[in-house]
Amino acid sequence: MASTTPSPDLRTARLEVGLDFANTLEHSKDDDREHLPDGAALLAWLIEHEVMPPPIDGHATEQELRAADEALGRARRLRFAIRALVEALVERREPDDQVVSELDGWLRRPGGLRLIVDATGIRVVPTADQAPVREALSHLALAVAQGIADGDPRRLRICDNHACRWLFYDTSRPGTRRWCDMTVCGNRAKAKRHRERARAIADQAEPGPMDAAAMRS
């Protein structure tokens, strides 16, 4: 009866998890890759990132999958709003009113906490005012809003590789991180700059038409 450990049903998310959610629509120079093609993928992502608890027997029920399918469109709108908000903050401009309204709507959704005291101990769990998937999405919206409010918006980043556009929060000491992953996008940028310098040197060394004529005379 002395336990005050939060129940695993009570899930909280961090800003980084909210940004990872926005990155589930992965941009590339060839095409965008959708990591949430259906409700089952959405459910699996939320469970994997511990935004909602796993099913008791390890398998989602038909009702849970159906609820996830129904929430998929709203989840994608939330994802778009998170990315749009971060991009606006990174680019030092005001986010669109619709973006703010979408996030605000998630934060205002009903659902509080309740205290349960039984033979297993004391637990704090969400009320049943929201379906589990919508509850988890509300946690993501709160994580992004609260994380930005409590942190430093100037450390929000969009990967400098324009074919990537991955969102992340710069936790480096100097706050000068430019790429989502130095070993991938960072190395690609360095390789590109090396090729451009080599091409410029080659162009300078190549004789022009008058020089070539003078060499032949």
Q: Would you kindly state where each structural domain of the chain is located, as residue ranges?
A: 15-174, 181-217
Least confident range of 34-38, 159-163, 191-195: 191-195
Residue-level pLDDT at 9: 41
Residue-level pLDDT at 10: 41
Mean pLDDT for 140-149 is: 91
Write out the E strands in 86-198.
Answer: 113-118, 121-126, 156-158, 167-169
CATH of domain 15-174: 1.10.3300.10
**Position of tokens 């336990």?**
3
Residue-level pLDDT at 36: 98
Q: State the Cα–Cα distance between residues 86 and 22, nearest whole angstrom.
A: 10
**Position of tokens 């606006």?**
88
Residue-level pLDDT at 135: 87
Radius of gyration (C-alpha) of the chain in whole angstroms? 24
Q: Which amino acid is at 22?
A: A
Q: State the Cα–Cα distance between residues 167 and 156, nearest whole angstrom.
A: 8
Name which residue leads in pLDDT, 65 or 3.
65
Name which residue leads in pLDDT, 10 or 154.
154
Residue-level pLDDT at 214: 57
pTM of the model: 0.76
Residue 194 clears pLDDT 80, i.e. is over it: no
Structural contact between residues 133 and 46, judged by C-beta atoms closer than 8 angstroms: yes
Q: Which amino acid is at 129?
A: D
CA 25 remoteness from chain centre: 9
